[in-house]
Amino acid sequence: MSHVRAGAAFLLVFLFGPVQAQEAVRVAVASNFLDTAAVLGTAFQHDTGTEVRLSAGSTGKLYAQIINGAPFDVFLAADIERPALLEQSGHAVAGSGRIYARGRLVVWSASAKDCLAALHEDASGKVAIANPVTAPYGRAAREFLQDIGAWERVAPRIVYGQNAVQALQFAATGNAAVAIVARSQVSSPALPPAACRYEVPEAQHAPIAQQAVLINAESDAARRFLDFLESDEARHIIERSGYEVGR
């Protein structure tokens, strides 16, 4: 009888793998949210035993990768447009989109004494923003500059990062005098001290609503991760990182 049980156990392991093995969740995440996603992934793995594997980039580039068949399970975009397009084209599960965070924009500098003045003065140096075509925070930065009447003056001085993270790096390393980026980014202890920081009023650009969407309909782990993003634990992590969440 013991031989029968041993054989059955071997067959189960052969067919399904070790009982403790958990399906990993492959998450494409907008660069501005990478650090927060890493904390969320650790918390999710602690709660469920399921690993979260992150791949970061600008929302536009990740969208293009998904359209071209990149094997992601979940997409954490920095806008609502790309997830909606993925649902419409059948590259994401219809109706699975949900807003997981709302971002805020800041002007930050390690050298300028007055962040707003630096945007209007040609002698202040270069201004770094993410590429408005592929990065929602770059688009919001352009809208803000247009709203304050500085776009025409600033445009020749702009250096474009591939994403919001690279835009901040330009300012942190002295390759730009000022960066206009996500508020969540400028609390990093790795940054030099801020010489100035200005929080951009939400009324001066379109709202930055960041939406998650399910890519792989067959992944139960991915569905659980999406549900986790709406838990109190996840909301606390997201708010602590400098984002706002809806209730």
CATH number at residue 184: 3.40.190.10
In a domain, 184, yes or no: yes
Percent of the chain past pLDDT 70, that is, above it, reads: 90
Q: Is 28:66 a contact under the CB 8 Å cutoff? A: yes
Q: Are residues 180 and 227 both part of a single domain?
A: no
Q: In angstroms, rounded to a whole number, what is the distance separating the alpha carbons of residues 217 and 224? A: 12
Residue 13 has pLDDT above 70, yes or no: no
In a domain, 157, yes or no: yes
In a domain, 153, yes or no: yes
In a domain, 213, yes or no: yes
Classify the C-alpha dihedral 91-209-27-44 as positive or negative.
negative
Percent of the chain past pLDDT 90, that is, above it, reads: 86
Q: In angstroms, rounded to a whole number, what is the distance separating the alpha carbons of residues 56 and 145? A: 26
Residue 244 has pLDDT above 90, yes or no: yes
221 compared with 246, residue with greater pLDDT: 221
What is the rounded average pLDDT of the residues 189-194?
Answer: 91
* pLDDT reported for residue 12: 37
pLDDT-based confidence at residue 22 (cuts at 50, 70, 90):
low
Q: At what angle do helices 34-48 and 220-228 cross, to 10 degrees?
A: 110
Q: In angstroms, rounded to a whole number, what is the distance separating the alpha carbons of residues 224 and 104? A: 27
Residue 15 has pLDDT above 90, yes or no: no
pLDDT digits (tens, 9 = 90+) for 66-103: 999 999 999 999 999 999 999 999 999 999 999 999 99
Q: Are residues 83 and 120 both part of a single domain?
A: no
- Vertex 97 angle, CA 91 and 103, to 5°: 120
pLDDT digits (tens, 9 = 90+) for 24-49: 999 999 999 999 999 999 999 999 99
Long-range contacts of 150-157 (CB under 8 A, 24+ apart): 150/119, 150/120, 153/119, 153/120, 153/122, 154/119, 154/127, 157/122, 157/125, 157/126, 157/127
Residue 58 has pLDDT above 90, yes or no: yes
Q: In angstroms, rounded to a whole number, what is the distance separating the alpha carbons of residues 8 and 105? A: 58
Q: Are residues 188 and 116 both part of a single domain?
A: yes
* pLDDT reported for residue 129: 98
Q: Are residues 111 and 184 both part of a single domain?
A: yes
Q: In angstroms, rounded to a whole number, what is the distance separating the alpha carbons of residues 73 and 220? A: 10
* pLDDT reported for residue 188: 85
What is the rounded average pLDDT of the residues 47-55?
Answer: 97
11 compared with 239, residue with greater pLDDT: 239
Q: Are residues 114 and 193 both part of a single domain?
A: yes
Cα separation values, 28 from 86, 213, 234, Å: 13, 10, 17
Q: In angstroms, rounded to a whole number, what is the distance separating the alpha carbons of residues 120 and 214? A: 42
In a domain, 246, yes or no: no
247 compared with 202, residue with greater pLDDT: 202
Average pLDDT, the chain: 91
pLDDT digits (tens, 9 = 90+) for 128-167: 999 999 999 999 999 999 999 999 999 999 999 999 999 9
* pLDDT reported for residue 124: 85
Neighbours of 123 (CB within 10 A): 7
Give residue 26's domain range.
Answer: 13-102+207-240
Split into its structural domains, the chain has a count of: 2
Q: In angstroms, rounded to a whole number, what is the distance separating the alpha carbons of residues 197 and 167? A: 15
In a domain, 225, yes or no: yes
3-state secondary structure of 238: helix
> Which residues on adjacent β-strands are paired with residue 67?
none
